[in-house]
Amino acid sequence: MDNYEYIIEMKHITKRFPRIVANDDVSISIKKGEIYALLGENGAGKTTIMSVLFGMYEPDEGEIYIRGEKVNITSPRQATMLGIGMVQQHFRLISNYTVTENIILGSEPQNKLFGFIPHVDIKKSNAEIAALSEKYGLKVDPLAVISDLNVSTQQRVEILKMLYRDAEILIFDEPTAVLTPQEIEFLLEIIRGLRDSGKTIIIITHKLEEIKAIADRCAILNHGRLIDIKDVKDTSTTELARLMVGHEVSFTVDKEEARPGDTVLKVENLTVCNEQGYKAVDDVSFEIHSGEIFALAGVAGNGQNELADAIAGLKQVRSGKIVLDGLDITGMSIRERIENGMSYIPEDRQKVGLIMGFSLKDNLAVRKYYTDSFSHHTIINDQTFDEHGKRLIDDYDIRSSDGNSTIVRAMSGGNQQKAMIAREIDMKGKLIVVMQPTRGLDVGAISNIHKRIVAERDRGAAILLISLELDEVMNCADTIGVIYDGRINRIAKASELTVNEVGNYMMGVSRSEVKDGRDDMQKEGGEGA
Amino acid sequence: MIDSIIIDGLAFALPMFIMAIGGIFSEKSGITNLAIEGLQGFGAFTGAFAMVILTNAMGTGTQVPYYISFLVAAAGGMIYSMVHVILCIRFKANQVISGVVVNILAMALTSFLTRRLNLMIFGETSNKFILETSVRYDVPVLSEIPFIGAAFKRVYPFEILIVIIAVIAWYVMYRTPYGMHLRACGDNPHAADAAGIDVGRVQMIAIVLSGGLSAIGGMCYAYSISANFSPDIYLGLGYLAIAALIFGNWSILPTLGACLLFGFARSIGHEVIKNLGMPSTYNDLVRTLPYVVTLLLLIFFSKNNRAPRALGEVYFRGKR
Amino acid sequence: MKKLMVRLLSGEKHQMFRISVFAVVISLIFGAAVLLMIATNPFASYLNLLQGSGLAPKRSYAGMRNMFTDFMSFLDAMTPMIFASLSVMVALKGGLFNIGVSGMMLVSSFCATALVGYSSLSAGIARPLVLIIGIVSGALVGAIIGALKFKFNINEVVSSIMLNYIFMYVLTFFINSYYLDPVSRQSINISDSARLTIIDIKAFGLKFDVPLAFILAILAAFIIRFVMNRTTIGYEIKAVGLSPAAANYAGINIRKNILLTMVVSGALAGLAGVTYYCGYVGSIQPGVVPGLGFNAIAVALLGCSDPIGCILASFLITVISKGSIYMSSQQGVEIELADLITAFILIFSACSGFIKEYTDKVERQLKEKNFNEKKGGAQA
């Protein structure tokens, strides 16, 4: 019956975007029932080529064959009809709909009221979804509303969405980016189960361990080009890494032993509420010393944003105290905090960190524009703006088409990030709050930024590094704090904790339980090597 | 006195309610719709024009032109709403600006056309289409009930029409696949797109529906408070409808409450002035009441408003 | 056609200006089409617009009048338009959409009329007082809208529209009750010494009006431009307008800036009010929300949110509205045509962002194609 060798064949796909060729003559072929990985750094073109397959983009050149037949996929709807499903990195869920409503959206079973008035048959759907989740072991409550669910459950909803549409080809875009090690393990188990029931799986990732753990074959992309296709079991992790980056890489951050000095930041019994009035940060206390990197680990949405915003003054505190270098700053305005030596690199550079419609030099001056040399009696001193911008652009290698006067919106994500980091580090503050500094950056840029952060530590700054990437936490931290559901679950010297312990604390496991389980978990201990 | 407060209040509130329902459809699909003001005016213009032509042709003895004029108004509003569709969806213009543009164009276009058509067809220089006020009925039995019976006295036929449309609108919004798609687009268009929903099409239909509904609302006002079509139809009632739906939290029933409040504020004011024997100039002060009430209500209630999440967001497919 | 459009509109230099010109040309073509449809000569009609504005000579003039008379009257009409468009523009820079210019104009001119317009103060005191009252009352209304925005989260569009109607009705009540001229059905004309336009001056054998505030309007545009581009005040307002979250993060006080933006915008709208009602017209018509406040939106959009652009756009829109009276009388067409053409301009200006992106995209494609062709040629 299957008179084709490959279920998917993408031949000579080229996709151009303004200023960039995202896919350059990429050809891949995937067999039915295999787990196929696409490996590459951010910006390598992995997501683009899968978006082409899923009908989100139309390729500029190239052909696609599904089950041996040439197809022209112009919309996700058509991809769905061809049996292709995709879980995107940012979940595509309607926040105020129930699980069932989200799954059936776009292909709702209908019934006729009084035999002629059409309506959505929600009762039948609820039963169907319950049965489906049972069948694949994906536990969800069909009646739960999406905004009440955690990330890993939302991901299960996304998977069910594909299964409900009888997808045979399942694409996962960076499915583990937001999960804890334990959740990752569980997800990989689910994926294996799906493969065993005959589905074809494509997984986009830049995490080598996952590929080793699960994939059969692996295509490596770099700068839009296909570098190689490897059988995973015959290829070492270091070989894969070399292919991905294009040169040898070391995974560790070179840094000397920390020499902590005086306490710079002292957070005492801090409680912060989110918009819904929920205690997102609940009675949190910790201290950071000068010359110390305090890394806060945790799964997304456990209060990290609120904590960082509260320290930086973007969010009001319900109770508790924040002391910066002996000065109580709890009630201070944002500007007063800045003037007292605080820098903040927020997670969302596009909405918060940068004014996208401003020029680069205006953005670089955003912390200082009102100070003496930048303006006099409110009249702006252009020369200072220019010189300040030029200096940072040179020092931090910020690349843009027009230098100082480039509108920031027109810059690449990596360079936007560099600009923001340059500006904040240049403040030479006593405390630097850094949130997800390397999100969306490639390996080279990441190690550069890590070096900068370590250099700041060695200069004597206290650094609060908030990261969802466990690797980053393990590599950079002198001290690790783990936050779970708004509470600090554990604080310890970095050298005293293993990856798995941190992962357990991130799941809310208490300290005594972690101790007991220590011996059972050794698998991922060598991650850093 | 209570009777006329209820009767006038309803006659003012219900047309506003149907405009607000149109607005809810559009805004729930993610498109900010300030264009209601222009849509109702344009709808009233086409409807009134049809009425004038039809009465000329068929005489005044029949109710047929009256009902046809509503259909024509709705069609006019729907066609005119395509301007908002094209600006917002095709040209990705700022939706607030587009709405204002649509309103200004409606004012200019209908005033120009009214004069022109009057001149061409009737040889008159007038900026009005004169209509008769609509007939009114007492609903048998129900209108006999003391106190609440007033709600069924001297009822305009369109009031009943509006109630029926409101029920259908609720059903479409919350029970049909289209309604489900529509609300999804307003919350997360990317998700809707990924689920195979044509976001642009859903939003287009929503805007066009809102055009039709607003037009019916405008036609009601032309038949009730002014008894003609003239540029005076642009009284900001469309904007009041928007305030009502904001105050009603983008849900149909609470929005009805808001509309009733505006309507009764107005009718109570008028009654007070009439009964106290104040000069008619004071009516101008009473006319401010719905607007003042709107502002006050917004002051107290807009803090805990929950607008559709993607409202006003220009949707680009490729955007990640 | 496509290539021509791209050639004309792409490239960074003065791109927005060129797109605005493009929008105007397209609108005039649309307007010409409408004129043709009603069997009127568009060229003659457009010439009438210029003639009515004193920019081209009419065939005949009444005694002691010539083109200069018309031109001075044109400047008189243009003055409030400049202020009103600056008001909309400043608000846009701060991320706010001020559709309340009309209401502000009514309030400011009414306050000035009631307080100074009927007094016997000498011109040297009355005129500055009118300006000051205009500024202060307009700014107050702006402050209300700003406060409603940041304190109660009320969209400025909704609140300013509500205020427009509230002010209109309240003023109608007061004018009808206390200040009505029974013949003109408008408020009684204000005294000449308070009026910001000197009416019917006789000089050089001519009779003409002198709009005293015109210079002030031009000056205001340059001041606003300086403040917006070269001071930290403008820097903060623009930052808040572009991204409130990022501005807040930078330590900029959002509330203060929203309020400041609306106060400045209101003050300018107030000036528009007094220069219109207490200058150009001399009295207030009850029961009408002035359309100038809405046309100002068209002007601000057309002027690419630049003060100097606003002056140019004011010039154009005033030619259309002012000249339409003459056009109407000469061609026998409806005076509403002017509003229609203005509305066309507004529509095409609203699309300017799209036009910009579209031409940029097509330009890139053409470049790429040329590049590929060249490459292909080289290989062959």
Q: How far is CA A57 from the centre of its chain?
A: 22
The set of chains that have 3 or more CB pairs under 8 A with B is A, C
Residue C91 has pLDDT above 70, yes or no: yes
CB contact (8 A) between residue A375 and residue C245 = no
- Residues B103-152: pLDDT tens digits? 989 999 999 999 889 888 888 888 888 887 777 877 777 777 777 777 77
CB contact (8 A) between residue B184 and residue A117 = no
Q: How far apart are CA A40 and CA A248, in angstroms?
A: 14
Q: What's the gap in Å between the CA of A44 and the closest CA on chain C?
A: 22
CB-nearest to A358 from C230, C233, C239 is C239
Tell which residue, A28, A177, A163, A1, has the closest CA to residue A88.
Answer: A177
Domain annotation covers residue C342? no
Domain annotation covers residue B297? no
Domain annotation covers residue B197? yes
Q: Any chain B CB within 8 A of the CB of C346?
A: yes
pLDDT for A527: 38
Tell which residue, A67, A47, A48, A61, has the closest CA to residue A7.
Answer: A67
Domain count, chain C: 1
- Residues A241-298: pLDDT tens digits? 788 776 655 556 778 888 888 999 999 999 999 877 788 899 999 999 999 999 999 8
How wide is the angle at C-alpha A346 spanned by C-alphas A343 and A352, nearest 5°? 110
Helix axes C254-275, C123-152, angle to 10 degrees: 140
CB-nearest to A358 from C242, C248, C361 is C242
Q: How far apart are CA A390 and CA B295, in angstroms?
A: 50
Domain annotation covers residue C267? yes
Q: Which residues 124-183 on chain B approach chain A with CB closer than 8 angstroms?
A: 171, 175-177, 180-181, 183
CB contact (8 A) between residue C247 and residue A369 = no
Nearest CA in chain B to C145: B295
The set of chains that have 3 or more CB pairs under 8 A with C is A, B
CB contact (8 A) between residue C239 and residue A335 = no
pLDDT for B297: 83
Tell which residue, C259, C68, C239, has the closest CA to residue C149.
Answer: C259
pLDDT for A517: 52
CB contact (8 A) between residue A333 and residue C368 = no
Helix axes B157-175, B177-187, angle to 10 degrees: 70
pLDDT in tens, chain A (529 residues): 457 889 999 999 999 876 678 889 999 999 999 999 998 876 678 888 999 999 888 899 999 999 999 999 988 888 989 999 999 888 889 988 999 999 999 888 888 877 778 888 888 999 999 999 988 888 899 999 998 888 889 999 999 999 999 999 999 988 887 777 778 888 999 999 999 989 999 999 877 788 888 999 999 988 888 999 999 988 888 788 788 776 655 556 778 888 888 999 999 999 999 877 788 899 999 999 999 999 999 877 789 999 999 999 999 999 999 999 999 999 999 999 999 999 999 988 888 999 999 999 999 999 999 988 898 888 999 999 999 999 999 988 888 878 898 888 888 777 888 899 999 999 889 999 999 888 767 667 788 889 889 999 999 999 999 998 888 888 899 999 999 889 998 899 988 988 888 888 887 777 777 665 554 444 444 333 3
Q: How far apart are CA A463 and CA A311, in angstroms?
A: 12
Q: What's the gap in Å between the CA of B174 and the closest CA on chain A?
A: 9
Q: Is A116 exposed, middle or buried (0-12, 13-18, 19+ CB in 10 A)?
A: exposed
Segment holding B56, helix H or strand E? helix B36-58
Tell which residue, C51, C53, C33, C55, has the closest CA to residue C42.
Answer: C33
Domain residues for C124? Answer: 62-318
Domain annotation covers residue B85? yes
Q: Cβ contacts (< 8 Å) between C354 and chain B: which residues? A: 91-93
pLDDT for B303: 66
Across chain B, what does the average pLDDT equal?
88
pLDDT for A354: 93
CB-nearest to A380 from C230, C246, C361 is C230
CB contact (8 A) between residue A379 and residue C231 = yes
Q: Which residues 92-151 on chain B approach chain C with CB closer than 8 angstroms?
A: 92-94, 96-98, 100-101, 104-105, 107-109, 111-112, 115-116
pLDDT for A128: 92
CB contact (8 A) between residue A106 and residue B320 = no
**Can you list the domains of chain A with their CATH numbers?**
1-83+173-249 (3.40.50.300), 91-167 (no CATH), 252-341+430-529 (3.40.50.300), 350-428 (no CATH)
CB contact (8 A) between residue B242 and residue C158 = yes
CB contact (8 A) between residue B93 and residue C353 = yes
Q: Find the mean pLDDT for residues C248-264.
A: 94
Q: Is C303 exposed, middle or buried (0-12, 13-18, 19+ CB in 10 A)?
A: buried
Domain residues for B235? Answer: 15-134+149-248
Q: Which residue has the higher pLDDT, C258 or B233?
A: C258
Domain count, chain B: 1
Q: For residue A12, how many other CB atoms are within 10 A of its CB?
A: 13
Q: Cβ contacts (< 8 Å) between B194 and chain A: which residues? A: 76, 86, 88, 92
Across chain C, what does the average pLDDT equal?
88
Residue B82 has pLDDT above 50, yes or no: yes
Percent of chain C, pLDDT > 90?
A: 43
Domain annotation covers residue B193? yes
CB contact (8 A) between residue A94 and residue B317 = no
Domain annotation covers residue C71? yes
Q: What's the gap in Å between the CA of A89 and the closest CA on chain C?
A: 24
Q: Cβ contacts (< 8 Å) between A18 and chain C: which residues? A: 361, 364
Q: Any chain B CB within 8 A of the CB of C99?
A: yes
CB contact (8 A) between residue B183 and residue A76 = no
CB contact (8 A) between residue B190 and residue A90 = yes
CB contact (8 A) between residue C170 and residue B284 = yes
CB contact (8 A) between residue A120 and residue B188 = no
- The complex's ipTM works out to 0.85
CB contact (8 A) between residue A346 and residue C230 = no
SS3 label, residue C197: strand
CB contact (8 A) between residue A118 and residue B196 = no
Domain annotation covers residue C373? no
Q: For residue C97, how many other CB atoms are within 10 A of its CB?
A: 18
SS3 label, residue A145: strand
Q: Which residues 254-313 on chain B approach chain A with CB closer than 8 angstroms?
A: 309
Within 8 A by CB and 6+ apart from B163, the residues are: B14
CB-nearest to A352 from C238, C245, C368 is C245
CB-nearest to B299 from C154, C155, C347 is C154
Q: Cβ contacts (< 8 Å) between B291 and chain C: which residues? A: 162-163, 165-166, 169
Residue B314 has pLDDT above 90, yes or no: no
Within 8 A by CB and 6+ apart from A148, the residues are: none
Q: What's the gap in Å between the CA of B291 and the closest CA on chain C?
A: 5
Q: Cβ contacts (< 8 Å) between A362 and chain C: which residues? A: 235
CB-nearest to B93 from C155, C340, C350 is C350
Give me the long-range contacts of C336-340 (CB less than 8 A, separation at least 24): C336/B108, C336/B111, C336/B112, C336/B115, C337/B112, C337/C31, C337/C34, C337/C35, C339/B104, C339/B107, C339/B108, C339/B111, C339/B112, C339/C291, C339/C295, C340/B105, C340/B108, C340/B109, C340/B112, C340/C31, C340/C34
CB contact (8 A) between residue B177 and residue A57 = no
Q: Cβ contacts (< 8 Å) between B192 and chain A: which residues? A: 94, 105-106
pLDDT for A528: 36
Domain annotation covers residue B274? no
Domain annotation covers residue C258? yes
Domain annotation covers residue B181? yes
Q: For residue A30, how many other CB atoms are within 10 A of its CB?
A: 21
Report residue C264 as tokens: 């400045």
Q: Cβ contacts (< 8 Å) between B112 and chain C: which residues? A: 334, 336-337, 339-340
Report residue A165 as tokens: 């549409």
CB contact (8 A) between residue C351 and residue B93 = yes
Nearest CA in chain C to A365: C250
Q: Give residue C371's pLDDT band: very low, low, confident or very high (50, 70, 90).
A: low
Q: Cβ contacts (< 8 Å) between B115 and chain C: which residues? A: 334, 336
Report residue B210 as tokens: 């809102």
Domain containing residue C146: CATH number? 1.10.3470
Domain annotation covers residue B139? no
Pick the residue of C169, C327, C359 with the most B CBs within 10 A to test the interface with B by mutation: C169
Q: Do the beta carbons of residue B240 and residue B290 sit within 8 Å? A: yes
| Interstrand relation of A431-435 and A342-345 (parallel, antiparallel or unpaired) | parallel
CB contact (8 A) between residue C173 and residue B299 = no
